[in-house]
Amino acid sequence: MERNSGFTLNELLISLAIAASLIALAAPSFATLLQNNRLITLSNEIIATLNYTRSEAIRRGQRVTLCKGTIEDGCDESTQGWEQGWLVFVDQNNNGLYEDTEETLLRTRHPLDETLQINANGQLKYHISFLGNGFSRTASGALPLGTLAICDQRGNDEARSITINRSGRARVEPQATLC
């Protein structure tokens, strides 16, 4: 007499029920992992963009600006927020605004995912400029003191903040107060 090997229907259903229970337990922590990864990725992208902007200013020996906005609005201060995207350009006339007839566009960023937002205070609300020596200065010559906070719906505790020191170097810190 031959013996069949395999799963019975009952064994299969019990295995599927156990697997479904384990997946249901893991799903919330996986969602948190995805949210944390989005914040970290965006923070790293902003730091990379700041470093690129600074290095281009040093390489070219002139002011290069990172501003919120799109090519169409030219980084006007009335532009909504950093979530709409940003531009990196050679700021020939030192005003922090992109004017396509005068300036060389170096890099653009499309709008962010709707679950993320970037809040800024101080001089960083509109643009960040680097001089040819690598130092960050506003169009008036003042230090651009302020913070960029990368947030999602979880608020300050999970947010990340980016600050730029006097020499123009950016750093990321966990938590923020601007969300």
pLDDT for position 1: 63
Is the model's pLDDT at 87 over the cut of 80?
yes
The share of the chain scoring above pLDDT 70, in percent, equals 97
Is the model's pLDDT at 106 over the cut of 90?
yes
Task: Decide: 167 and 134 in contact? Cβ < 8 Å.
Answer: yes
Domain ranges of the chain: 9-174
Q: Residue 66 is inside which H or E element, if any?
A: strand 64-68
Is the model's pLDDT at 60 over the cut of 90?
yes
pLDDT one-digit tens code per residue, 134-155? 999 887 777 877 888 999 888 8
Residue 47, classed as helix, strand or coil, is helix
**Burial annotation 21-40 (CB, 10 A radius, 16+ → b, else e):** eeeeeeeeeeeeeebeebbe
**Of 3.60.21.10, 2.30.30.40, 3.55.40.10, 3.40.50.620, which CATH number belongs to 9-174?**
3.55.40.10
Q: Of the spans 57-61, 67-71, 100-104, which averages the highest pLDDT?
A: 57-61
What is the average per-residue pLDDT within 53-76? 90
